[in-house]
Chains A and B, each alone.
Chain A
């Protein structure tokens, strides 16, 4: 075992007192087959995966839920498809009853074209769910003011988007993500917009505690290979953040310094 692997293994993600060895949280939307999804999730090393309560019935045997259970992956139910706070609260209650978990990834979407969060309904739903005893993972715009507001209302984690859901455009406003991280005292999870491995590495370099993605893996031509790529990307980004990057310079600086060398005049 190399020193670096020890370092990453001793660096768990802790949310609500629960430790996760992997900082990659997966979604399940868009998967071509159940077997294919299972293989991709295993390859990604994820220990926490979010499932849309509106799209998958936990009652069905042989369903997605069974697959997660069989592979020891914890389920984070989400409220995808909800457009109002009321909708989201009802869906969260349904999830709590069916899955016996008070964790919920809160999505309150403004419209089908952008799938962007509706900030007003999101704030309202967060407050209501916290008051009902939920641990709220709030999917939010990349707005530092809103992110802090959600934390103050009791969100367990804030999950700013890199870009709209499913776009694969990467992190459109890295500065805002950095700002959100710098002011947060709850875990920050970069959620949505990830297109490929380097986007996830960047999220970790910006200081996010974890990355959540689905489409980038499930709709890749080879989801298993892409899942593995993201596993490494998240570790790489985390290590790079901790290692401390060099400053950006306008002018070249030779990597081998001249001091101590013979000078021939």
Chain B
């Protein structure tokens, strides 16, 4: 841990909050922090280009419920309730956020898919969630392009959607911009943007420490941001950040996903009015209709080792199109606009790493540091909750319900051997 020394040659800027990472989570926290009256600097060399760029943006606490993940449900429901207000706060943006209260239909392809949905429905109802079996005929009255062959349909009125790209753009639009080379703002006074918030298009390299607390972040271009609170929200890159508290394990792994964007020809519009979440012979697929006449079809889940993080899998694309067509044959008539792959930041228990972290040695929390990463499949849905929890922590409010997501809940594996399994070990 370095002690921060005044370094006049290195330019420094001061803000209340430094947010490392301009994905939905970092931007959501930045937005909320500004609404609370704080000045914010967001640091990211490539804003909104990771999982945020790929995500479909389903706000689906009910249909995203998985067995053995009931612990996450409370957070998902809380975030879902925050969404209307959160979206409202961004309505002034040029293009809005694409927040829509379109319902969700869960649709199965064969008899086993129907049983799988029905079993899950029993658990969902037991947890007090709103889901209702819909006769196939009724489902097809609502969505006439659904295949006559589907085996079941369930109505989930509370699962909605947002467009993560527009959401990110809306927050970014409200931030001023600086190029790393432009140091005209050095010193901070007199620049009106500093009282508010702006984006710094550069990479963070190292947390800065002072008197045992995190005091800001050093950037790759040699400049520094000094902040009362530093938020680590740079997804899979978080563990590589230097100066994290000693012994803190952030067990993130990339879980790649392929996702498609397609345009619906005029004569087929609207292709769907509800988001369709399907199981096709046990494999999940979803089709999300956007307000602009496009649809999003996703998403595969791969833990292979692609040559680059954004490499699209041919098999992944094939599977998505194949399964989407089983539920909605008209998918074959669409224009394929985009195949995208990104890595989701996965954790061992599929739950986020969110909150303050313990100081090595003594039991207190590190001051000035909040971690918010590892949101895996749920980053967009959980954005308002993450923002509210993070700003709550800045204001000294602790909510016991969320301590189970503390980033330091995993033991630190010292002296980890490389993942090589030797014969007869």
CB atoms of A102 and B303 under 8 A apart:
no
27 A-B residue pairings within 8 Å (CB atoms): A18-B424, A32-B66, A33-B69, A35-B348, A35-B349, A35-B350, A36-B350, A55-B304, A56-B303, A56-B304, A57-B304, A60-B254, A60-B419, A63-B419, A64-B303, A68-B421, A69-B417, A74-B421, A74-B425, A75-B421, A100-B420, A100-B423, A101-B421, A101-B422, A219-B282, A221-B119, A223-B68
CB atoms of A102 and B423 under 8 A apart:
yes
Task: Report the nearest B residue to A68, measured CB to CB.
Answer: B421
Contacts A60-B305, A62-B252 given; indicate if A222 touches B421 (C-beta within 8 A): no
A99 touches B (CB below 8 Å): yes
B341 vs chain A, min Cβ distance (A): 14
Give CA–CA (A59, B254) in the complex, Å. Answer: 11
B251 touches A (CB below 8 Å): yes
CB atoms of B119 and A63 under 8 A apart:
no
CB atoms of A66 and B254 under 8 A apart:
no
CB atoms of B419 and A58 under 8 A apart:
yes
Give CA–CA (A64, B254) in the complex, Å. Answer: 12
CB atoms of A62 and B251 under 8 A apart:
yes
Give CA–CA (A154, B346) in the complex, Å. Answer: 41
Contacts A18-B424, A34-B348 given; indicate if A69 touches B419 (C-beta within 8 A): yes
CB atoms of A221 and B123 under 8 A apart:
yes
Residues of chain A within 8 A (CB-CB) of B349 are 33-36
The one of A32, A54, A67 in contact with B68, judged by C-beta atoms closer than 8 angstroms, is A32
A61-107 contacts to B (CB < 8 Å): 61-70, 74-75, 98-103
CB atoms of B421 and A62 under 8 A apart:
no
Residues of chain A within 8 A (CB-CB) of B424 are 18
Contacts A32-B69, A35-B349, A36-B349 given; indicate if A63 touches B422 (C-beta within 8 A): no
Give CA–CA (A34, B69) in the complex, Å. Answer: 12
Residues of chain B within 8 A (CB-CB) of A60 are 253-254, 303, 305, 419
CB atoms of A222 and B67 under 8 A apart:
yes
Contacts A33-B69, A62-B252 given; indicate if A57 touches B350 (C-beta within 8 A): no
Contacts from B to A (Cβ < 8 Å): 66-69, 119, 123, 251-254, 282, 302-305, 346-350, 413, 416-417, 419-425
Residues of chain A within 8 A (CB-CB) of B69 are 32-33
A164 vs chain B, min Cβ distance (A): 12
A21 touches B (CB below 8 Å): no
Residues of chain B within 8 A (CB-CB) of A98 are 420
Contacts A56-B304, A57-B305, A221-B119 given; indicate if A62 touches B423 (C-beta within 8 A): no
B314 vs chain A, min Cβ distance (A): 13
Residues of chain B within 8 A (CB-CB) of A220 are 67
Please name the 10 residue pairs, one residue from A and one from B, whose CB atoms are nearest each other, closest first.
A57-B305, A65-B419, A35-B349, A33-B350, A35-B348, A34-B348, A62-B253, A75-B421, A62-B251, A221-B67
Task: Report the nearest B residue to A58, measured CB to CB.
Answer: B419
Residues of chain A within 8 A (CB-CB) of B348 are 33-35, 38, 62, 67
Give CA–CA (A36, B351) in the complex, Å. Answer: 12
Give CA–CA (A57, B309) in the complex, Å. Answer: 13
Give CA–CA (A57, B304) in the complex, Å. Answer: 5
A124-166 contacts to B (CB < 8 Å): 166
B119 vs chain A, min Cβ distance (A): 7
A99 vs chain B, min Cβ distance (A): 5
A215-232 contacts to B (CB < 8 Å): 219-223
Residues of chain B within 8 A (CB-CB) of A99 are 420-421
Give CA–CA (A41, B217) in the complex, Å. Answer: 41
With a 10 A CB-CB cut-off, give which of A66, A219, A223 has the most chain B CB atoms. A66
B70 vs chain A, min Cβ distance (A): 11
CB atoms of A55 and B302 under 8 A apart:
yes
With a 10 A CB-CB cut-off, give which of B302, B413, B419, B423 has the most chain A CB atoms. B419
CB atoms of B67 and A100 under 8 A apart:
no
Give CA–CA (A66, B410) in the complex, Å. Answer: 15
CB atoms of A36 and B68 under 8 A apart:
yes
Give CA–CA (A55, B306) in the complex, Å. Answer: 10
Contacts A62-B251, A66-B419, A221-B119 given; indicate if A32 touches B305 (C-beta within 8 A): no
Give CA–CA (A54, B208) in the complex, Å. Answer: 41
Give CA–CA (A60, B422) in the complex, Å. Answer: 17
Residues of chain A within 8 A (CB-CB) of B350 are 32-33, 35-36
Give CA–CA (A58, B253) in the complex, Å. Answer: 12
CB atoms of B305 and A65 under 8 A apart:
no
A1 vs chain B, min Cβ distance (A): 28
1/0 per residue, CB under 8 A from B, across A184-198: the answer is 000000000000000
A27 vs chain B, min Cβ distance (A): 14
CB atoms of B68 and A63 under 8 A apart:
no
B413 vs chain A, min Cβ distance (A): 7
Residues of chain B within 8 A (CB-CB) of A66 are 416, 419
Give CA–CA (A61, B425) in the complex, Å. Answer: 19
Give CA–CA (A58, B422) in the complex, Å. Answer: 13
B249 vs chain A, min Cβ distance (A): 9
Give CA–CA (A75, B119) in the complex, Å. Answer: 33
With a 10 A CB-CB cut-off, give which of A100, A102, A223 has the most chain B CB atoms. A100
